[in-house]
Structure 1
Amino acid sequence: MAAKAALLEKFKNRPDENDPAMQARMAERKAIAEARAEREKEREARRQAKLAKEAREKAELEAKKEAERQAREEEERRQAELRAAEEAERAALEIAEEAARKAKRDARYAARKARGRKIG
């Protein structure tokens, strides 16, 4: 009970809000709260700036990767076209060689036929 009475006595003896000491304490608390709020704003601004920088760097990295991927695909496409052209050229050369062999064979056959008619 004594503790309760001491607490009640402390509350009763508390200075009035208009007391200069109380006003000074309130002003000090207000200044501390304002400083805390200002630090929090600065911290949030730094965090937002960091997030923006990270997002910008990520976007730049993605753009670089995309450009590299497109360049790689373009090079692969160019190489594929080059291989296709070489293959088409090789096929055309093979067809021309086959036509030349056939023409030579036909010439031999015609010569053999021609010799056969003269004899007979």
Structure 2
Amino acid sequence: MAIYREKDIFERRNAANEAKKALLARFKAKPAADDPKVLARQEERRKILEARAIRDAEKQKLKQERLAREAAEKAAREAEEARLRAEAEAKAAEEARIRAAEEAERIANELSDEAARKAKRDARYAARKARVGRAPPGFSAR
């Protein structure tokens, strides 16, 4: 079994110095801005950004078209609902007019029936009054 040994302060300091030197060497090894590889990477990045901008513009255009289409469909739906509502209101108004006419006709019929009953009653009353002065049949008043 391996025995674990802690590093002392000197070893840690040396490791940190080595890491700093490696980082500095990597930084110094960085190519200059006019290096062909750097320029190629920048050009590739620019093309990617242009393609992304084109895709974003196309997405925006499609979104605007979709929103316009949905707005048109909503307007058509609302117009159809308004037309159906107007038809229903017209139908209800016509039914109400028909019911009112039927009610008026019923009331007129009741009034005419009542007038006919009254006329019959008045005729009976007049006939009875006309008979009052006469003797009933089979009765002689001497």
How high is the TM-score relative to the length of structure 2? 0.78
Misfit runs of 4+, over 4 Å? none
Deviations 1:15-74 (A, max 9, x none): 111122211111111111111111111112111211221121122112111211111111
1:34 pairs, out of 40, 43, 50, with 50
User: What is the CA-CA distance between 1:100 and the residue it aligns to?
Assistant: 0.8
Deviations 1:52-104 (A, max 9, x none): 21121122112111211111111011101101101100110110011011011
Aligned residues: 120
User: Are residues 1:14 and 2:20 paired?
Assistant: no
| Structure whose CA Rg is larger | 2
RMSD, matched Cα: 1.6
Q: Which residue of 1 aligns with 2:109?
A: 93
Q: What is the aligned-residue identity percentage? A: 52
If asked which structure has higher relative contact order (CA below 8 Å, sep 6+), I would say 1
2:74 pairs, out of 54, 58, 79, with 58
What secondary structure, in the 3-state scheme, does the structure 1 residue paired with 2:33 have?
A: coil
State the alpha-carbon separation in 1 of the partners of residues 24 and 60 from structure 2: 43
How high is the TM-score relative to the length of structure 1? 0.91
What secondary structure, in the 3-state scheme, does the structure 2 residue paired with 1:16 have?
A: coil
Which structure: greater helix fraction? 1
Q: Which residue of 2 aligns with 1:79?
A: 95
State the alpha-carbon separation in 2 of the partners of residues 95 and 69 from structure 1: 38
